[in-house]
Amino acid sequence: MEFEIGGRVIRVNLPNWATMEARVSERLAQRKGFALATINLDHLVKLRSSEAFREAYAAQDFVTADGNPIIWMARMAGRPVSLIPGSDAILPLARIAARQGAPIALVGSTDDTLRAAAGFLQSEVRGLEVACCVSPPMGFDPSGAEAERILAQVAASGARMCFVALGAPKQEVFAATGRRVTPEIGFVSIGAGLDFFAGSQKRAPAWVRKFQVEWLWRLLSSPKRLAPRYALCATILPGQMLRAVMIRFRTGRA
């Protein structure tokens, strides 16, 4: 599945869990860095209005589908993909890192959340080394001098994979900066994933996710923050669905 926005093409090039795990395992084994983003409808809205965000996405090596609307579009286009949210990818990727003896870093959120999340990960993943935890100051520039200082700290810790929990577009911009400044490290943008592990945010129950209404659960949990965001997402959804249908007819997929 692909999206063309502002003259740039963004492709979901990790269509399923097996492909994601294989590609990340390969990069770690080769001691090569990468940046992994998880595209969703909110990202599509932000990408329309931000050239900096589009440039950050262009620097991502890997992209997964995060959110059921992306899954629906892919099916309509005849290019089905699996749902791989950043928060769900953390444990599988941490297990790969542990197997390969690759220390990880956590960047984002608060110091308390990072400590709690690190403890949770180490209790769940045998042999995992959390080499570095960094909570950036409020309002820091993810492409500026402070970001480069944090990246130097992550590199000095020996971390080879960094989970970035800054929210979009900061986390993707930070990961793009990391690909330039510390190209040997893998960066995974995970949104609120660490907050879920630390218990500072509550994720929708499994049955809510099963019935594909996590968006509604989140909206009811935080209406003032999420209602404007979801309203913008709703405005672009029909056009994106139509584009997916056109892709199917253009490529002649059954």
- The string of pLDDT tens digits covering residues 79-95 is 999 999 999 999 999 99
Res. 25 pLDDT band, cuts 50 70 90:
very high
d(Cα 44, Cα 80) in Å, to the nearest integer? 18
> What is the per-residue pLDDT across 38-57, written as a single tens digit (0 to 9) for each?
999 999 999 999 999 999 99
Q: Give the pair of three-digit tokens for residue 47.
A: 């990408």
Residue 208 to residue 215: CA distance in whole angstroms:
9
Query: Residues 6 or more apart from 140 whose CB is under 8 A from it?
Result: 146, 147
Kind of pairing, strands 8-11 and 34-39? Answer: unpaired
Quote the pTM value.
Answer: 0.92
Average pLDDT over residues 188-201: 88
Half-sphere exposure of 122 (CA within 13 A, CB side): 14
Asked if residue 254 has pLDDT above 60, the reply is no
pLDDT given for residue 217 in this prediction: 67
Q: What is the DSSP letter of 56?
A: H
Q: What is the pLDDT of residue 117?
A: 96
CA distance 81 to 191: 20
Taking alpha carbons only, the member of 111, 105, 97, 96 closest to residue 151 is 105
pLDDT confidence bin for 22, thresholds 50/70/90: very high
Where does 157-205 have alpha helices with state H? 170-181, 193-198
Helix and strand numbers (H, E) in the chain are 12, 8
Beta strand extents in 66-144 (DSSP E only): 104-108, 130-134
Give just the sign of the alpha carbon dihedral 183, 117, 44, 69.
positive
Name, in order, each residue with C-beta under 8 angstroms of 101's C-beta and a sequence gap of 6 or more.
127, 129
Q: Is the pLDDT at 127 greater than 70, yes or no?
A: yes
pLDDT band at 253 (very low <50, low <70, confident <90, very high): low
Confidence of residue 137 (pLDDT cuts 50, 70, 90): very high
